[in-house]
Chain A
Amino acid sequence: MLISHTTQCFSKTRWLLLLVIFAISLSLSADENYYKWKAQDFAIEQSLGDIKGDANRGRKLVMQRDKGNCLACHAMPIKEEAFHGTFGPPLQGIASRLTPGQIRLRIVNQQSINPLTVMPSFYQNPLEVNRIAEDYIGKTILTAQEVEDVVAYLSTLKQEVQP
């Protein structure tokens, strides 16, 4: 699942591959902040590392382009931002449809529910990612704290807003 996937000149890049794996294992052992999670019935009931999320921070994260950037694909009840994407379903009233545990799995690893989804897995094990750029080796898109913040924010979107 790593670099060898599409390279033809594998022999040329083999030493690079080994180096990358070495670097990944180094950086992982250095951080050790990837919390293992377990999905059951399409939900992760327990929060990542038992961290408590903050809805206000989560609201900022969903707008931030280098963080959640949920707005890129989902329309959300955030009036101050002009452009909302149309890739995914609107998230207004999402908390009336899904439990916090179900929301958590969809942020952490939507690809485990729908393998063809375009949605990035925001808390995927960095070792499972193909050809990750040097700057991001060993890192998840959102940290465990940030995932919990976004879960906390989305869990507040209870009422369906009438158009």
Chain B
Amino acid sequence: MISARLIIFYIIGLVSMPFLVSLTHAEEPKSGYAFLTTSTQEMQDDTFANPGMKAVEDGRQWFYDKGLDGKSCATCHGEEGRKFNKRNLASYPVYNEEFEKPFTLQDQINYCWEEQLDNVPFVYDCVDLIELETYIRYLARDEKINVVITEKLKPFYEQGKRLYNTRFGQINMSCASCHDQYAGQMLRGQVLSQGQSNGYPAYRLGSGKVTGLHSRFVECFTSFRAEPFDRGSIEYINLELYLNARSNGLKIETPAVRY
């Protein structure tokens, strides 16, 4: 008798599952900011209290740092990056024709750093490059993220989406398992966010460091007890592409304050 009842529940569950999933996906994107406590929100808003501003200052130093032939980022992009198109900054990753793959903002900075300024390129997601990226994203603060998935970006976007929905590691969870289904719920003492990327690079209260998105992915993979991919690998670039497109419409908050 009990087993018959269970089977009926099971069938109801199976039938209703696709609807439940479509419901959770339809949720409006909400910045990680909305899941912070008021005092942490205040810390982020106050540029004197926000510890991430240290990375912005250090990034500015890099911005004026002259390469071998005497040029700096400011030579082309103007004082304080005035010649930047903020809307473009908020549209990364974009497709790069030469490399035939998506270019993240960090890829683009590193490319310029090497090709235009004749410098030795940075290692992906290293402290110095994070500082420079933080400064440049900070210049586009409050700009709405607008990633456009073009025909050429589409296959990379699909790969990123697939990775987002794939279970990994001994804990055997996907990003979607938590961030699409349980945003706003308590994970022991912590409120779970939607996992939006609009605040990155972000100052992390746990580690006390400004962290790039790919380093954050590595942290997630490690906590799943999965073997992480490399920072700057095509897998993480695809994932960043999917996440940034998922954040479309949210304002850039770099440097955000996050747990």
Interface residues of A (CB under 8 A from B): 5-9, 41-42, 69, 71-73, 82-87, 111, 113-114, 116-118, 120-121, 124, 126, 129-136, 139-141
Chain B residues with CB below 8 A from A136, complex form: 169-170, 225
- Shortest CB-to-CB span from B35 to chain A, Å, is 13
- The CA of A6 and the CA of B158, in the complex, are separated in Å by 11
Q: Report whether B169 and A132 are in contact in the complex, using a CB–CB cutoff of 8 Å.
A: yes
Q: Report whether A8 and B159 are in contact in the complex, using a CB–CB cutoff of 8 Å.
A: yes
Q: Report whether B170 and A85 are in contact in the complex, using a CB–CB cutoff of 8 Å.
A: no
- Shortest CB-to-CB span from B40 to chain A, Å, is 17
Minimal Cβ-Cβ distance residue in A for B228: A133
- The CA of A13 and the CA of B49, in the complex, are separated in Å by 45
Count contacts on B: residues with CB < 8 A to the other chain. Answer: 36
Interface residues of B (CB under 8 A from A): 2-3, 6, 10, 13, 17, 20-21, 159, 162-163, 166-173, 177-178, 181-182, 185-189, 221-222, 225-227, 234-235, 238
Given contact pairs A7-B235, A113-B10, A118-B182, A133 touches B225 in the complex (Cβ within 8 A): yes
- The CA of A72 and the CA of B186, in the complex, are separated in Å by 8
Q: Which secondary structure characterizes the binding site on chain A?
A: loop
Given contact pairs A9-B234, A85-B186, A131-B168, A120 touches B173 in the complex (Cβ within 8 A): yes
Chain A residues with CB below 8 A from B185, complex form: 85-87
Given contact pairs A83-B186, A133-B226, A120 touches B235 in the complex (Cβ within 8 A): no
Q: Report whether B225 and A132 are in contact in the complex, using a CB–CB cutoff of 8 Å.
A: yes
Q: Which of B17, B21, B185 has the most CB of A within 10 A?
A: B185
- The CA of A134 and the CA of B221, in the complex, are separated in Å by 12
Q: Report whether B189 and A82 are in contact in the complex, using a CB–CB cutoff of 8 Å.
A: yes
Q: Report whether B169 and A131 are in contact in the complex, using a CB–CB cutoff of 8 Å.
A: yes
- The CA of A55 and the CA of B168, in the complex, are separated in Å by 31
